[in-house]
Structure 1
Amino acid sequence: MQVFPCPFCGLRDEREFRYIAEAGKTRPDTARDVSAQDWAAYLFAQANPMGPGREIWVHIPCQEYFTMRRDTASMDVLDTAPLRKSDA
């Protein structure tokens, strides 16, 4: 079993987390007509790099979303960072 670091709660069991999406994808502009192909590419096309990559995850108990940089080949977590801006 793997342990992931939540930037809000610290180290937790991997079963408490859910993968949301690849980080850095640009959502289609809904102010204009968006083709079915553009929506499909946004929703389903993944770069799926082997090695370091950025992903969006949610920690279910605290319901906080964050980015995780991890190496998909070694499964090492390189770092995590909150998605929301600091309240300070």
Structure 2
Amino acid sequence: MLLIHCPYCQEERSELEFRNAGDAHLVRPANIAAISDEEFEEYFFLRDNPKGLIFERWRHMHGCGRFFNAARDTVSDKFVMTYKAGEPKPDLHPAPATSATVETYEATEGDAR
């Protein structure tokens, strides 16, 4: 059983108290009545299904009832973090680690390197 942290209640609760509400951070078209059928299909029905880190909306149905966002790894099904609705999407991709060290060298007069 998964434990999910509600950012409003500030508690970890059983996954049975929560419901998934789809992708987080979707931008609704400004005038949805004016878009083409293809654009509507793209917005309303088509979603990515990546392997790895995804951002989702969740609702604490049997608790505070509020919507929040979560970053979840689809491979391990672990929740990386949860955060309140309306907060910006966090940058969870760490900078690539480099193992090379850089040496600086200053040439001096008469140096035959």
Please identify runs of 4+ aligned residues in structure 1 that moved more than 2 A. Answer: none
Aligned to 2:18: 17
Q: CA deviation at 1:84?
A: 4.7
- Would the aligned equivalents of 2:32 and 2:40 in 1 still touch at CA under 8 Å? no
Q: CA deviation at 1:39?
A: 1.8
Q: Deviations over 1:15-53 (max 9, x none)?
A: 111111212222112176122222221121111111011
Return the alpha-carbon distance in structure 2 between the equivalents of residues 59 and 77 of structure 1. 15
Output the TM-score relative to the length of structure 1. Answer: 0.83
Alignment gaps of 5+ in structure 2: 88-113
Amino acid at match of 1:74: S
Q: Deviations over 1:29-80 (max 9, x none)?
A: 2176122222221121111111011111111121111110010110111000
Alignment gaps of 5+ in structure 1: none
Return the alpha-carbon distance in structure 1 between the equivalents of residues 15 and 41 of structure 2. 29
Tell me: higher relative CO, structure 1 or 2? Use CA pairs within 8 A at least 6 residues apart. Answer: 1
* Count of equivalent residues: 85
Greater shift in the superposed pair: 32-41 or 45-54: 32-41
Aligned to 1:44: 45
Identity across the alignment (%): 33
Of Structure 1 and Structure 2, the greater strand share is in 1
Structure with bigger gyration radius: 2
Output the TM-score relative to the length of structure 2. Answer: 0.67
